[in-house]
Structure 1
């Protein structure tokens, strides 16, 4: 099992939003996080990524295997497409950016500075970084924002190839990505006033 979550509770802005979350993610598996806006998909991913502490529960995870991609593309505006990828490749100790350029159709843009890219092109470049990390678990927060249908297809192919090679993907998304995946609806784990009081006696129902 690449990732195992047991009875996890997490908060946003100090307010509990999810409690009792349990699931596993195995090698070769893609798992889609679903639920209405504000349910806590981003909060869950940030907690798994170690960017904020959990309120309770256990996370079994090799941090060195985890790559998290959030809403921001994380690009250096004055560097070219290729230079951005080489920057991350050096950080993660990989030596080849050609597969990443090809996977997201960026070869013809490789010498263009990031600030001259369209929103969709920036998103493709941001996602291409995943391929140079060499990490087995991809945790992605609404990765298809700004992508056209063709680019969503490129992303889907990249995820399928990653899982086929033994990787795993945890993806918060509202759209159909066009490939088979398990679905975890977070709605049943929404924090209630009663469950939140277990973490904070001063909790107010006004925040639910």
Structure 2
């Protein structure tokens, strides 16, 4: 898969958050999106996932056949998107059945994230870090070439961050793509960095950096 963005612009609640944003990702490449809180990192990921339409610009994928971009991606956002009443294994089984193209079994994916012991526990009983690892394990139960990750290391300890870095490196080695918005280093030494601040209009640069409308 090849991902091409040209001249993307985003407007939220009547304010332009960024404009003129362009990049190309070839197979095996990672893009780290940086910027202060409220700069528009999450909005960019929402555009890439198809949850938000850009005000201007274009986005296309090559070498994906008849699939759309949303059909080619995994997204992990601020919210873990887990069903609290279901066990960790049941949450992953649901994702596998919904998304198709199964790769690892749910228990195997949990074991990769160091959660084999928690497979049968309702996720409501898990810590924030454990819930985050269950959410990240969804990346492993079905094969999708594009990973969109919003602050993926949130709530993870150092050991779990190292595991995530290994998973991303393996994904890139297989020709996958990673776009990650983060304030922290992710252990991807070959990743390119895109500072979203460089694409913010002058007027937007003076808005409240913590404004929810810019997320």
Tell me which residue corresponds to 2:142: 133
The equivalences for 1:109-128 within 5 A come to 109-128=118-137
Residue of structure 1 aligned with 2:151, choices 142, 149, 156 = 142
CA distance in 2, matches of 1:206, 1:170: 25
Tell me which residue corresponds to 1:19: 19
Q: Give yes or no for contact 1:2–1:137 (8 Å, CA) kept in 2.
A: no
Tell me which residue corresponds to 1:70: 77
Q: Give yes or no for contact 1:92–1:132 (8 Å, CA) kept in 2.
A: no
Q: Secondary structure at the match of 1:78?
A: coil
Tell me which residue corresponds to 2:196: 186
CA distance in 2, matches of 1:13, 1:39: 14
Q: Does 1:88 align with 2:84?
A: no
Q: CA deviation at 1:24?
A: 1.0
TM-score between both structures, scaled by the size of structure 2: 0.86
Q: Secondary structure at the match of 1:60?
A: strand
CA distance in 1, matches of 2:207, 2:142: 42
Q: CA deviation at 1:47?
A: 1.1
Q: Does 1:153 align with 2:162?
A: yes
Q: CA deviation at 1:52?
A: 1.3
Q: CA deviation at 1:206?
A: 6.3
Q: Which runs of 5+ in 1 are unaligned?
A: 197-204
CA distance in 1, matches of 2:172, 2:89: 25
Once the two structures are superposed, residues 69-96 of structure 1 have per-residue CA deviations (whole angstroms, 9 ceiling, x without a partner) of 1100000111111111001001112262
CA distance in 2, matches of 1:131, 1:12: 33
Once the two structures are superposed, residues 13-51 of structure 1 have per-residue CA deviations (whole angstroms, 9 ceiling, x without a partner) of 232101000001111111100111111100110111111
Please tell me the root mean square deviation across aligned C-alpha atoms, in Å.
Answer: 1.8
How many residues of Structure 1 are paired with residues of Structure 2 in the alignment?
A: 198
- After superposing on structure 2, the runs of 4+ consecutive aligned residues of structure 1 that deviate more than 3 Å are 205-208
CA distance in 2, matches of 1:166, 1:37: 31
Q: Give yes or no for contact 2:107–2:119 (8 Å, CA) kept in 1.
A: no
TM-score between both structures, scaled by the size of structure 1: 0.89
CA distance in 1, matches of 2:58, 2:113: 35
Once the two structures are superposed, residues 83-122 of structure 1 have per-residue CA deviations (whole angstroms, 9 ceiling, x without a partner) of 1100100111226224421221111111111000000000
Which segment is superposed worse, 129-138 or 91-100? 91-100
